[in-house]
């Protein structure tokens, strides 16, 4: 059963000026940050330093365990925000269909990234030169899982959801996609095209959230893309080449196919594939009446 869009709107309808200010979507974005930021700061300045002091297999176990525990804690603080500020159930992080939807998202990214790798192999642009330790596969799963979760929580569950409540689905998509693209502009090997490609491809992530109104499908897509692109196949991840990968490849060929030093996110073919999948999901969302009109039309 899909969560309906209106179930993610605040259930508070205040009469006072202060109450209306607190419930204004943009103000609520700041309030969410107040619930989440303290643990984020504590984690990055205390827990991360403690983990960094370890080494070897024990370090790997700590890092992976930290990812799982941190995700649970972030969800807990977000649910507190929803309970006390919006006074509703946090349907967007409910465990219903979590495994199925995450699995589908992960599979979608496997197919998209796998197709790009297969295409480059057939064209002679991708060649395996070395295989690293299988432990990297496990570590990458947790590493990219944590990174994707934080981005999905920030850009989809918070920014998009609250902007959508005010501006409607389409305007919120344009705004959040632009923010998402600009946020990656400081990455290494970034260009105007790579930023534009991220903005265009962002429709896949937005569509995945719009359709289910839960975090799981979009998290699976986002995590799966980063995991397979970098953790498995060793391609740059949004221009970043410092992550460890299981496969060490030699990549050549035209940038409009390979994405060059930015990774396949800047590939014209990959962008078109993402748009194609997104169109299918958007069509399903329209049929299920998951598209939100701006507040002035509701």
Q: What is the pLDDT along the chain (298 residues), one digit of tens a residue?
A: 789 999 999 999 999 999 999 999 999 999 999 999 999 999 999 999 999 888 888 889 999 999 999 999 999 999 999 999 999 999 999 998 999 999 999 999 999 999 999 999 999 999 999 999 999 999 999 999 999 999 999 999 999 999 999 999 999 999 999 999 888 888 888 899 999 999 999 999 999 999 999 999 999 999 999 999 999 999 999 988 878 899 999 999 999 999 999 999 999 999 999 999 999 999 999 999 999 999 988 7
Nearest to 217 by CA among 162, 163, 280, 166: 280
Q: What is the DSSP string of 139-152?
A: HHHHHHHHHHHHHH
**Residue 270: both structure tokens together:** 């990959």
CA–CA separation, 108 and 215 (whole Å): 15
Q: Enumerate residues 6+ apart whose C-beta is below 8 A from 19.
A: 12
The pTM of this model reads 0.94
């Amino acid at each position: 059963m899909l969560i309906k869009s209106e179930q993610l709107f605040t259930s508070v309808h205040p009469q006072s000026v202060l109450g209306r200010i607190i419930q204004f979507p943009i103000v609520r974005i700041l309030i969410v940050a107040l619930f989440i930021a303290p643990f984020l700061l504590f984690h990055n300045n205390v827990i991360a330093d403690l983990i960094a002091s370890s080494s070897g297999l024990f370090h790997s176990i700590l890092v992976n365990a930290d990812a799982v525990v941190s995700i649970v804690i972030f969800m807990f603080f977000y649910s507190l925000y929803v309970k006390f500020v919006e006074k509703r159930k946090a349907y967007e992080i409910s465990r219903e269909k979590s495994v199925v939807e995450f699995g589908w998202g992960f599979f979608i990214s496997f197919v998209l990234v796998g197709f790009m790798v297969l295409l480059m192999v057939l064209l002679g642009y991708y060649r395996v030169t070395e295989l690293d330790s299988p432990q990297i596969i496990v570590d990458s799963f947790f590493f990219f899982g944590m990174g994707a979760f934080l981005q999905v929580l920030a850009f989809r569950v918070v920014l998009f959801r609250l902007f959508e409540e005010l501006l409607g689905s389409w305007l919120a998509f344009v705004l959040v996609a632009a923010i998402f693209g600009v946020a990656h502009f400081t990455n290494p090997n970034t260009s105007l095209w790579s930023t534009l490609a991220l903005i265009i491809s962002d429709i896949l992530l937005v569509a995945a959230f719009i359709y289910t109104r839960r975090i799981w499908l979009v998290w699976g897509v986002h995590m799966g893309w980063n995991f397979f692109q970098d953790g498995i196949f060793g391609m740059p991840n949004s221009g970043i080449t410092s992550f460890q990968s299981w496969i060490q490849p030699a990549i050549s060929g035209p940038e409009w196919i390979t994405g060059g030093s930015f990774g396949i996110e800047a590939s014209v073919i990959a962008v078109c594939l993402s748009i194609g999948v997104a169109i299918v999901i958007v069509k399903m969302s329209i049929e299920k009446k998951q598209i939100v009109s701006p507040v002035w039309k509701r």
